[in-house]
Structure 1
Amino acid sequence: MPDTKSSKLESKMDYWVQESVKDVPFDEQYEVIEELSSGPFGTNLKCKPRGQNTFCCVKILAKNKNRKVSLKETSHLLKLKHQNVTRIKEIFEDTDNIYIISELMIGGEVLERTVKMKPFTEREAVQILKQILNGIRYIHDEDLVHGNIKPENLVYEDLNDESSIKLTDIALYPILDNELLKHAIVSNIQYCAPEILRNEVGDPASDMWSLGAFAYLLLCGEEPFKGENNEELYKKVLKGYFNTDLPSYESLSMNAKDFISRLMEVDPKKRLNVYQALKNPWLLGQAARNDNLSNALDSMRVIVNKKKTQSFLNKQALRTKTGKESMAQKYLPKDVWLWLQKTTKYGTSLVDCVKSAVENPSSSVGLYAPDPECYDTFPEIFWPVISDYHKVDVYSLKSVHDFGDPNELPDFEEKYADSIISSRIRVGRTLEGFPMGPKLNRDTREQIKDEMVESFRNLQGELYGDFFELSELSYQERDHLIETHYLFTDADDKYLNSAGGYTDWPLNRGIFINRKRTFVVWINEEDHVRIISIQKGNNIKQVYARLVKGINTIEQTVKFVHHDKFGYLTFCPTNIGTGLRASVHVKLPKLAASGRLRELCESLDLQPRGVHGENSESEGGIFDISNKVRIGKSEFDLVNSMCLGIKTLLDEEFALQ
């Protein structure tokens, strides 16, 4: 009877790599720091030589018979040396695994840096593609195929502005003239050449198709093929039917479109080779446009954040709380079950966060944070929503906080006086140590009220005023305060109601008003606190100076939740960051009637709404216009931008009269 253990060992020994280190175990020479990624070609780990502080990357490949040829050819990677190709330092090997040690790329993926470029035009895209093509040319000149060109494998070497782009994760294919050529496999169908899907041999032309698909993404902000499922995608890739109806594609120069089309030619023989691509007039910069590709960047930003969110989830060590599996767990999709297992220390689950969206499919956002921990506990939903709504790169985002000097704000000219009815600026805040809306009970909501009432004792001079419990006001008094725009509406927002924002209404809610009725603080409405400065007319400098003075005074007594990335946290993620909304009630009847108001507001990063708050309608051509951006800029910058935007709207209004 044969010795199966010995036979198995001999089988693995057949796969020894030439020039690999075999006599010293990998783990004796290197210390593993953390997992970076994993995929069909192995697992990538961050590591460092023992006793040193220089970091590198190790790809671990398990030996098996299906990889016999490619593993024998792995040693050819050791000779690769080019500024646009990741350098392989050494290869370790034992009877079970191959360990490929390479440079550690710390500059991030090309797309991650691209979404931060201002401006980003076809000319910047050309410079990126040139570097990638130079790396491909070198690989092809070495009679190798990369075979795995996709966004994740195109990275910057370091964080310097002049950093080189490098191709990583070569798919370990054999030398081209080897009679044992294997079929190339690209792990993402969006970048997979038609001949690969037809189970044909991969060659340099397959790399060029993949580059064309990446060029499409780089210039258009979306991947080239659209389909409801893999079967639809396969059919479109096989026929070369990439999306030419995308507005960002239509806006490209004819030469850029031609470059993409020549790379994504279904027939490999008609496809541009690497030398032809490098000599293409568009790539030489002779025909590249200099128009900003802002729409492509917005779309690309969403893709980047989705990829990062998925990467974040893949690294989570989520485990069920019990070894016994219920039938519910058994039949729910695995990722859904894992998401439902996650809770904050306040007991908030993902269901609590999306409850309003489920009950109100017409919601524009539909996401709420029942406690401050939600922003980091559920990044798979909060981070991409924040990115999409605020148009920011959420992963590199840092909180910006600066009140600046109110006296440096612009004045509204006399010609605008009759059109601007009132001005107000408010901020939303959450007190430290408490959850938000639906996770508050009567006791905790009362504690918030009491802490804020205590802080009001410090408000003196023009800020001096009185606090009124909502439950103690008569309906007539409430209605009057609502009609005069001092008080929040009476629990009538269906979206907020579904989110649990009106629990125990109206108990422990209230309003502080100074004697001059120019400084207001709401307690326990949507957020713990809304601090508001308001007055008739258009003197925004006075309004802003009063707000800053009031906030600084209140913060002498209470502390608000602040996040290093997201700034001041609020119940709704649309208000995070500065939490500031600067607005005016302004007459724009002609502009509204023209149908251009919302479009113009969008271009100015302004948000129009009715005079009775969000989701209300305009009355008599009067609109509440405010800054849409809340995050990534300082408080001063937001107020200043709002003022300039209002001037632009009124100039358009006057031109129509």
Structure 2
Amino acid sequence: MFLPKIHIRQLRCLPKQLFLRQFCKCASQVPPEVLEELEQGFEDMKECDSKSLLKKHLTKERFDKLKDKTTPTYNSTLLDCIRSGLKNPDSGVGIYAPDPEAYSTFSDIFDPIIEDYHGTYFPLCGMEKDKQQELIDSHLLFKEGDRFLKDAKATRYWPTGRGIYINDNRNFLVWVNEEDHVRIISMEKGGNLGAVYERLILGENQLSKQLEFSRDKRLGYLTFCPTNLGTSLRASVHMRLPSLADDKAKLDKMAAKYNLQVRGTRGEHTDAEDGVYDISNKRRMGLTEYEAIQEMYKGIRALIDHECQEAAKACKK
């Protein structure tokens, strides 16, 4: 019986102290002939019909910033990283790391190529404003400038270290360092609450294999804001409430009755847009995740029933 061949690889870089010394260079400055080859190679690449990630991301500004740099220990140059891509315009990527330090020394070119190839992560630092606004309008990205977080010193060094991971379907994402270290989000249009919750659990389980979340026996999961302690789960629905939008006091009263929290379309401390509110469970401590979701569901049903009744009354008039 013929058995298929299985080939599994693991790729690793050696730590500095184990790197073969005979491959290290002695010079600390980029030799003139290397700079000349770099300049010529860069000009040739601009003229060729290459589809490589190197050509896509190696702008003139980045090139000029990196061409005179060398790695601290091994003195590798930009040419060592991109020589193959310059000589092979049909390369898909076009860059290699000659030593472990290259990823930090030449991060200005490695980082955008890595992000482009591997997908999902969008760092806030350096993100174009139009891209940032597109993600915000799609309710995928958090907004900056929250005065409450600012006064709590939660926005120091903004936007450094902030970003989001998004899957291809744009229905699962992780916010990094917005308010807490991570905020795990599952979302989709429609009313399939079970599918949204199942996706959240699957994603959280995968992250838990790599991350250890802070948890207290009494308080539950520890979060920056004490309102999120306990399960830390917030289940919400964006919905238009034309009747209750005209009577905010009544909306707040019904929300309190069913332990709901009413927010604006773009989250806390924002206004509703076109009568659309963000309605979520208010309690996260003293009940299970399932109970929290059920509480939100029952409250939402009550709001919908009220809107239907008001609409029926209007039709009779």
TM class, shorter-length: 0.5 to 0.7
Distance 1:520 1:538 in 2: 19
Distance 1:613 1:498 in 2: 18
Q: Which residue of 1 aligns with 2:62?
A: none
How many angstroms does 1:472 deviate by? 2.8
Specify the SS of the correspondent of 1:656.
helix
Distance 1:610 1:622 in 2: 7
Q: Which residue of 2 aligns with 1:554?
A: 207
Q: Which residue of 2 aligns with 1:585?
A: 238
- Whether 2:163 is the aligned partner of 1:526: answer no
How many angstroms does 1:507 deviate by? 0.5
Match of 1:475 among 123, 129, 151: 129
Q: What are the superposed Cα offsets for residues 545-600 of structure 1, whole Å, 9 maximum, x if unpaired?
A: 00000001100011000000000000110111111110000111102213411100
Distance 1:552 1:465 in 2: 21
Q: What are the superposed Cα offsets for residues 363-390 of structure 1, whole Å, 9 maximum, x if unpaired?
A: xxxxxxxxxxxxxxxxxxxxxxxxxxxx
Q: What are the superposed Cα offsets for residues 239-273 of structure 1, whole Å, 9 maximum, x if unpaired?
A: xxxxxxxxxxxxxxxxxxxxxxxxxxxxxxxxxxx
Match of 1:619 among 262, 273, 278: 273
Gap change, CA 1:548 and 1:465, over 3 Å in 2: farther
Q: How does 1:219-298 map to 2 (within 5 A)?
A: none
Give the conservation status (yes or no) of the 8 Å contact 1:561–1:569: yes
- Whether 2:105 is the aligned partner of 1:484: answer no
Specify the SS of the correspondent of 1:527.
coil
Q: Which residue of 2 aligns with 1:610?
A: 264
Match of 1:535 among 175, 188, 191: 188
| Identity score, percent | 45
Q: What are the superposed Cα offsets for residues 187-218 of structure 1, whole Å, 9 maximum, x if unpaired?
A: xxxxxxxxxxxxxxxxxxxxxxxxxxxxxxxx
Distance 2:175 2:127 in 1: 14
Distance 2:226 2:214 in 1: 14
Give the conservation status (yes or no) of the 8 Å contact 1:606–1:625: yes
Q: Give, as a single letter, the amino acid of the residue that structure 2 aligns with 1:610.
A: G
Question: So what's the TM-score if we normalise by structure 1?
Answer: 0.29
Match of 1:648 among 272, 297, 302: 302
Gaps of 5+ in 1: 1-463
How many angstroms does 1:465 deviate by? 5.6
Distance 1:472 1:564 in 2: 40
Distance 1:589 1:608 in 2: 14
Q: How does 1:412-451 map to 2 (within 5 A)?
A: none
Q: What are the superposed Cα offsets for residues 453-497 of structure 1, whole Å, 9 maximum, x if unpaired?
A: xxxxxxxxxxx961111113111111110111000002x111110
How many angstroms does 1:621 deviate by? 1.0
Distance 1:620 1:508 in 2: 34
Specify the SS of the correspondent of 1:535.
coil
Gaps of 5+ in 2: 1-117, 312-317
Q: Which residue of 1 aligns with 2:33?
A: none
Match of 1:496 among 146, 149, 153: 149
Give the conservation status (yes or no) of the 8 Å contact 1:591–1:656: no
Distance 1:566 1:606 in 2: 21
Q: Which residue of 1 aligns with 2:290?
A: 636
Match of 1:576 among 229, 239, 242: 229
Specify the SS of the correspondent of 1:472.
coil
Q: What are the superposed Cα offsets for residues 98-149 of structure 1, whole Å, 9 maximum, x if unpaired?
A: xxxxxxxxxxxxxxxxxxxxxxxxxxxxxxxxxxxxxxxxxxxxxxxxxxxx
Q: Give, as a single letter, the amino acid of the residue that structure 2 aligns with 1:558.
A: L
Question: So what's the TM-score if we normalise by structure 2?
Answer: 0.60
Q: Which residue of 2 aligns with 1:508?
A: 161
Specify the SS of the correspondent of 2:236.
strand
Q: How does 1:365-376 map to 2 (within 5 A)?
A: none
Q: Give, as a single letter, the amino acid of the residue that structure 2 aligns with 1:489.
A: K
Root-mean-square deviation (CA, aligned residues, Å) is 1.1
Distance 1:634 1:465 in 2: 34
Distance 1:576 1:487 in 2: 23
Q: What are the superposed Cα offsets for residues 376-430 of structure 1, whole Å, 9 maximum, x if unpaired?
A: xxxxxxxxxxxxxxxxxxxxxxxxxxxxxxxxxxxxxxxxxxxxxxxxxxxxxxx
